[in-house]
Amino acid sequence: DESRESNVEFLLPYEQVVEMWRRCITTAYEPEFLYQRYAYNVQNTYPNRIKVPNSPARTSKEKILKGLTIMGNILLRVGVFSNYRKTFWKFAKPAFKAGKIESLIHVGMVGHHLIQFAKECATGKESASFYSQKLRQQRQKGA
- Structure confidence at residue 57 (pLDDT): 86
Query: Domain count of the chain?
Result: 1
Distance CA 5, CA 8 (A): 9
- Structure confidence at residue 126 (pLDDT): 78
| Range of weakest confidence among 7-11, 35-39, 106-110 | 7-11
Residue 28: domain span: 14-48+60-129
Is 3 part of a structural domain of the chain? no
Is 54 part of a structural domain of the chain? no
Is 4 part of a structural domain of the chain? no
Is 87 part of a structural domain of the chain? yes
Q: For the packed helices 101-122 and 85-97, what is the interaxial angle rounded to 10 degrees?
A: 170
Is 111 part of a structural domain of the chain? yes
Written in H, E and C, the secondary structure of 109-125 is: HHHHHHHHHHHHHHCCC
pLDDT digits (tens, 9 = 90+) for 10-31: 899 988 988 998 999 999 999 9
Residues 6 or more apart in contact with residue 26 via CB below 8 angstroms: 118, 121, 122
| Range of weakest confidence among 48-57, 107-116, 122-131 | 122-131
Is 53 part of a structural domain of the chain? no
Is-contact 123 117, C-beta < 8 A? no
pLDDT digits (tens, 9 = 90+) for 36-78: 999 999 999 999 999 989 888 888 999 999 999 999 999 999 9
How many helices (H) and strands (E) the chain has is answered by 6, 0
